[in-house]
Structure 1
Amino acid sequence: MGNSITIGWLNTHPDFFKNKPYVNRGISGQTTPQMLVRFRADVIDIGAKAVVILAGTNDIAGNTGPSTLEMILDNIKSMTEIAQANGVKVILCSVLPAFDYPWRPGLEPNVKIPKLNTLIKNYADRNGVYYLDYFSALDDGNNGISKENSYDGVHLTLEGYKILEPLVEKAIKKVLE
Structure 2
Amino acid sequence: MTKLSYRLSILLAATSLLGTAHAQSTATDPLFTAAPESLQPQQVRSLQQRLSDWPQLAYYREQNARLPAPRKGEARVVFYGDSITEGWGPTGSESFFPRKGYLNRGISGQTTAQMLLRFRQDVIALHPAVVVILAGTNDIAGNTGPASQAMIEDNLHSMVELAQAHGIKVVLSSVLPVSAYPWRPGLQPAASVRALNAALKGYAEQQRLVYLDYHAALGNADGGLDKALAEDGVHPTPAGYAKMAPLAEAAVAAALAH
Which residue of structure 1 aligns with residue 14 of structure 2? none
Distance apart, 1:20 and its partner CA = 1.3
Tell me how far apart the structure 1 counterparts of residues 97 and 229 of structure 2 sit (CA, whole Å): 19
**1:77-156 to 2 correspondence within 5 Å?**
77-156=157-236
Distance apart, 1:14 and its partner CA = 3.3
Which residue of structure 2 aligns with residue 10 of structure 1? 89
Q: Are positions 1:164 and 2:244 aligned together?
A: yes
User: Which whole-Å deviations, capped at 9, do the CAs of 1:70-122 have from their partners, x for residues lacking one?
Assistant: 10010000000000000000000000000110100222211100000011111
Query: What amino acid does structure 1 have at the position aligned with 2:233?
Result: G
Tell me how far apart the structure 1 counterparts of residues 103 and 221 of structure 2 sit (CA, whole Å): 32
Query: What amino acid does structure 1 have at the position aligned with 2:122?
Result: D
Which residue of structure 1 aligns with residue 256 of structure 2? 176
SS at match of 1:120: helix
Tell me how far apart the structure 1 counterparts of residues 154 and 187 of structure 2 sit (CA, whole Å): 21
SS at match of 1:24: strand
Instruction: List alignment gaps of at least 5 residues for structure 1.
Output: none
**Runs of 4 or more consecutive aligned structure 1 residues displaced over 4 Å after TM superposition:** none
Tell me how far apart the structure 1 counterparts of residues 209 and 100 of structure 2 sit (CA, whole Å): 23
User: Which whole-Å deviations, capped at 9, do the CAs of 1:153-177 have from their partners, x for residues lacking one?
Assistant: 0000000000010001001011111
Query: What amino acid does structure 2 have at the position aligned with 1:99?
Result: S
Tell me how far apart the structure 2 counterparts of residues 17 and 23 of structure 1 sit (CA, whole Å): 10
Tell me how far apart the structure 2 counterparts of residues 176 and 78 of structure 1 sit (CA, whole Å): 21
Q: Are positions 1:64 and 2:137 aligned together?
A: no
TM-score (norm 2): 0.67
Percent identity of the aligned residues? 54
16-25 vs 132-141, which moves further:
16-25
Instruction: List alignment gaps of at least 5 residues for structure 2.
Output: 1-79
TM-score (norm 1): 0.96
Distance apart, 1:61 and its partner CA = 0.3
Tell me how far apart the structure 1 counterparts of residues 167 and 93 of structure 2 sit (CA, whole Å): 28
Tell me how far apart the structure 2 counterparts of residues 132 and 106 of structure 1 sit (CA, whole Å): 29
User: Which whole-Å deviations, capped at 9, do the CAs of 1:34-63 have from their partners, x for residues lacking one?
Assistant: 000000111110111100000000000000
99-108 vs 111-120, which moves further:
99-108
Tell me how far apart the structure 2 counterparts of residues 174 and 21 of structure 1 sit (CA, whole Å): 17
Tell me how far apart the structure 1 counterparts of residues 151 and 186 of structure 2 sit (CA, whole Å): 21
SS at match of 1:10: coil
Tell me how far apart the structure 2 counterparts of residues 56 and 106 of structure 1 sit (CA, whole Å): 19
Distance apart, 1:27 and its partner CA = 0.2
Tell me how far apart the structure 2 counterparts of residues 17 and 96 of structure 1 sit (CA, whole Å): 19
Larger radius of gyration: 2
